[in-house]
Structures are given as C-alpha cells and as structure tokens.
C-alpha cells in the first residue's frame, strides 16, 4: 500500500475533481493511505482555490493541501527584479518580470504594513494566514511548506503567528485592492498546476 499519494501536477484533459474522486476511491479500497494536493497554489498571491472548488472538494473528501505559501517577494529580500541572481528560478517567471514585479510590490508593501502592525515578518504573516485559514469552518487542512534554504529562514518560519478574524479581514481588504500581475509559471507549466 502507498501511504500518501500526492497530486503534484494535473492532467489538463481530466477534470481535477475527477482525479480527486478516483484517488479517494482508492483510499476507500485500502490501496493508498491518503491523498494530498501540491502545486495548486494557495497563497496571498493566489486565492483562487477558495472560490474555484478546490478547497470545497478537499474539505468534502478530507484531503489536505500542502503548499508553499510564501512568495519570495514576501521575504523582504527582493525589492526589484534586479535583486534576483541569474541562477534564481524566479528571474524567468512571469510574476517576477520587471513590469509585473513593480505592480505586485504594491500589494507586498501593504502586507508588510500589516506585518509590522502584527510585529512579525511578512513571511510569518503569510504562513499565519494559511494556518488560520485552515482552522476555519468548511476548510480542508492546509499544511504550509515554509522556506528552509537558510538557517535564518527556518528560525523565522518556525515561529507561529496566529491571526484574529479582524486581521484576516484586513488581509482580505488588501488582497481585494490589488490584482496580481503575471502567472506563477509560463503558459505551458500553468496548464499542469491549476487544471
């Protein structure tokens, strides 16, 4: 038996719901221990899963969502496209191209203000948002995957931040004011992540 089957990429020719239901049937048959979704981005830069049925289906079928919820822009390390090193994968991603980076920094700056008010880092705010979201009614378990490239990131991301409903509402207001510019990946790869 396989303990946990991750859906890392989606088949663009098969509805995601159909894939999940089929895997849930395999859990019921005892062939796999559980199902998890990854790469269906759920972050402060993409809240689509909250409205496109992904979180509803995961809640219904008791499937957790594993996701990296902290955009590199929220770490405070990058203030412009020029801050990325040549080897940084973000340098080639649409969301981080100069014209999109400048637009997206506007929402990041507002989120940074909320983090200062909360006395935490923007990355901790993003992780706290996901963990608080996970505890809300009719939400699946959301397991954030924090950055762990450097020891200081591990320390920062292991400090839990709990957000009140009022703070969650403040984040919602910021997110509603700004539309994220640029996709997470190029067009070809995007077909394989959000279905």
Report pLDDT digits (tens) over 47-71: 989 999 989 988 998 888 877 766 7
Distances (CA, A) of 35 to 2, 6, 137, 141: 10, 6, 21, 12
Q: In this structure, what token pair is assigned to residue 55? A: 């979180």
Which domains are seen in the chain, by residue range? 5-190 (3.20.20.100)
Contact predicate 74/120, CB 8 Å: no
pTM of the full predicted structure? 0.80
Rounded mean pLDDT, 1-18: 84
């Amino acid at each position: 038996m396989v303990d946990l089957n991750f859906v890392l990429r989606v088949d663009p020719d098969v509805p995601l719901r159909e894939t999940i239901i089929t895997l849930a049937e395999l859990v019921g048959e005892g062939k796999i221990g559980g199902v998890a979704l990854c790469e269906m981005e759920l972050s402060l830069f993409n809240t689509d899963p909250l409205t496109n049925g992904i979180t509803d289906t995961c809640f219904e079928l008791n499937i957790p969502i594993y996701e990296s919820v902290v955009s590199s822009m929220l770490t405070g390390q990058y203030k412009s496209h020029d801050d990325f090193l040549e080897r940084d994968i973000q340098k080639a991603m649409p969301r981080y191209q100069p014209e999109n980076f400048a637009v997206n920094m506007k929402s990041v700056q507002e989120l940074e203000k909320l983090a200062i008010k909360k006395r935490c880092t923007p990355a901790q705010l993003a992780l706290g948002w996901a963990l608080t979201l996970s505890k809300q009614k009719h939400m699946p378990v959301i397991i954030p995957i924090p950055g762990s490239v450097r020891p200081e990131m591990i320390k920062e991301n292991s400090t839990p931040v709990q957000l009140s409903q009022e703070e969650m509402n403040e984040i919602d207001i910021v997110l509603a004011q700004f539309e994220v510019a640029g996709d997470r990946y190029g067009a070809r790869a995007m077909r394989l992540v959000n279905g």
